[in-house]
């Protein structure tokens, strides 16, 4: 472990990830196995993600609503494939009361056993489509474009902060449409929204694509996704958008009277992203010193660290810092006025926490009416005069940092994405990490074999318009797709 308390990425990438989270105080383990505490700094990142996404959802005509946490178990069984995918590792509520236990403590009261057990939502399609059945009568009730911000629970034995936890926070959009074409268009639109969010806010390039049948959402006709590349070359699924066809409408018998007067089943989509995006953000930009945040998602974008010797100098230094901060209207700025902490220790803390831009203020800076700027992304420090151009200069620097982070991630993605001609080549290259493109003949059994032998999966069939230029790299049969293989979180 380095002086920073953070294991270098080269030594142990998994441990580095945990160390960064710990050092930046993003999350903590809870006494309930698999549940995570989102500490203020980690939650604030998620809250900024929420804001950025919610603006995009509203701009595309969606509204928020809230549906119940608890779902009757019988609902899960109504859609045949959905039950396979989601009715397994669920938190099951069986009692509604506790009683005093013999010998102290409390225990479930046997007289308060529920007639029908309830599950904590692993996802809300079933309860929402039950309600849509009440709300949808005619074509005038369509489309319904609802999103929900919520917590969900999927019991996990092996967990990792942000990436895989039993409880997590997410948003789930659930839309209902009169036609198949409209629903398909909606699923595609929301994938573009996620792509735009990942690129512009997270500074994270992604590969949009469709899932193979075996990686599809349980109950979907088609699953669209965006896949991002982490620094170790592994893939992370950063968002999914599902075209559900009429599967849930049929399971919950949701029909509408069309303009022609005929009753038809409604067409559906659902789409979601979760707190695992915080994990993706960490593994896209951070370094061996700690967290690195793109300015647009940084809870603190600028930290100002005045220096002083003795109490006599403090007032003037703090006043200068506060005056500089007051010029940065609309930015998220912190002035660090803590006593009993040396400047070096402060720099170290804000670096670990990923603050994009630090403005140091010493006596000489004050004399020159300037601050000394240190971008978290490196590249040397420089002075900025605190005049009428100050805010413009700081904003431009933040934009530059945002752009630089995207460029670095994009370069890595380009550098580490390569075609493979045959299975041996894939197997040889996988340990080094990266995305591998192969001509592929869609076949669930072959896919399963590859997964078992290599731990790599088809992340998606990219939507970039590429077509196979030869036979399947695995079976030699005529190829149906270009498939993106990678190991994934």
Interface contacts to its own copies, rule CB under 8 A: 28, 30-32, 35-40, 43-44, 46-47, 63-77, 83, 87-98, 104-108, 117-120, 127, 130-131, 134-135, 146, 150-151, 153, 155, 167, 169
Provide the strand spans (E) within 126-221: 144-153, 167-177, 207-210
Residue showing tokens 């399947």:
472
Apex CA 88: angle with CA 86 and CA 91, to 5°?
95
Q: Residue 393: CA atoms inside 13 Å, Cβ hemisphere, count?
A: 17
Q: Is the dihedral of CA 106, 112, 117, 118 positive or negative?
A: negative
Residue showing tokens 């270009």:
482
The two structure tokens encoding residue 299: 């809870």
DSSP 488: B
Which of 6, 2, 58 is CA-nearest to residue 173? 58
Q: Nearest 10 degrees: CA dihedral of 163, 168, 171, 174?
A: 100
Which of 82, 121, 123 is CA-nearest to residue 219? 82
268, 129 contact by CB (below 8 A): yes
Cα separation, 459 vs 456, whole angstroms: 9
Cα separation, 355 vs 288, whole angstroms: 15
Beta bridge partners of 255: 265
144, 61 contact by CB (below 8 A): no
195, 56 contact by CB (below 8 A): no
Helix (H, G, I), strand (E, B) or coil at 77: coil
Whole-angstrom CA distances from 469 to 48, 207, 421, 426, 479 are 43, 20, 11, 17, 8
């Amino acid at each position: 472990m380095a002086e920073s308390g953070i294991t270098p990425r080269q030594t142990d990438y998994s441990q580095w990830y945990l160390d960064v989270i710990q050092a930046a105080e993003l999350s903590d383990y809870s006494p309930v196995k698999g549940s995570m505490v989102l500490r203020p700094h980690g939650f604030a990142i998620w809250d900024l993600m929420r804001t950025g996404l919610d603006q995009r959802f509203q701009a595309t005509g969606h509204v928020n609503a809230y549906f119940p946490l608890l779902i009757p178990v019988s609902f899960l069984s109504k859609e045949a494939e959905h039950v396979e995918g989601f009715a397994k590792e669920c938190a099951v509520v069986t009692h509604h009361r506790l009683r005093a236990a013999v010998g102290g403590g409390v225990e479930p009261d046997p007289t308060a056993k529920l007639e029908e057990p309830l599950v904590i939502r692993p996802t809300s399609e079933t309860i929402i489509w039950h309600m849509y059945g009440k709300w949808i009568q005619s074509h005038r009730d369509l489309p319904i474009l609802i999103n929900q911000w919520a917590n969900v629970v999927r019991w996990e034995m092996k967990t990792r902060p942000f990436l895989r936890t039993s409880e997590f926070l997410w948003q789930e959009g659930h839309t209902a449409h009169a036609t198949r074409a409209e629903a398909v268009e909606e699923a595609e639109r929301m994938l573009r929204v996620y792509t735009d969010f990942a690129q512009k806010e997270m500074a994270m390039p992604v590969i949009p694509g469709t899932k193979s049948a075996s990686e599809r959402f349980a109950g979907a006709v088609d699953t669209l996704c965006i896949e991002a590349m982490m620094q170790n070359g592994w893939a992370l699924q950063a968002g999914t958008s599902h075209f559900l066809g009429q599967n849930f409408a049929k399971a919950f018998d949701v029909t509408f009277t069309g303009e022609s007067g005929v009753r038809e089943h409604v067409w559906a989509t659902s789409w979601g992203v979760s707190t695992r995006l915080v994990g993706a953000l960490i593994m896209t930009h951070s370094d061996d010193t700690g967290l690195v945040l793109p300015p647009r998602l940084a809870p603190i974008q600028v930290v100002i660290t005045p220096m002083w010797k003795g109490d006599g100098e403090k007032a003037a230094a703090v006043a200068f810092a506060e005056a500089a901060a007051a010029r940065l209207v609309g930015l998220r700025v912190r002035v660090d006025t803590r006593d009993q902490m040396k400047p070096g220790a402060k720099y170290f803390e804000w670096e670990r926490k990923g603050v994009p831009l630090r403005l140091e203020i010493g006596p000489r800076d004050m004399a020159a009416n300037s601050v000394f700027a240190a971008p978290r992304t490196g590249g040397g420090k420089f002075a900025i005069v605190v005049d009428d151009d100050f805010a413009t200069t700081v904003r431009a620097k933040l934009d530059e940092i945002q752009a630089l982070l995207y460029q670095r991630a994009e370069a890595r993605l380009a550098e580490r994405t390569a075609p493979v001609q045959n299975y041996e080549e894939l197997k040889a290259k996988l340990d080094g990490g990266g995305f591998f493109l192969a001509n592929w003949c869609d076949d669930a059994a072959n896919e399963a074999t590859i997964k078992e032998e290599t731990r790599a999966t088809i992340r998606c069939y990219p939507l970039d318009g590429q077509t196979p230029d030869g036979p399947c790299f695995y079976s030699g049969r005529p190829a149906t797709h270009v498939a993106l293989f990678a190991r994934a979180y």
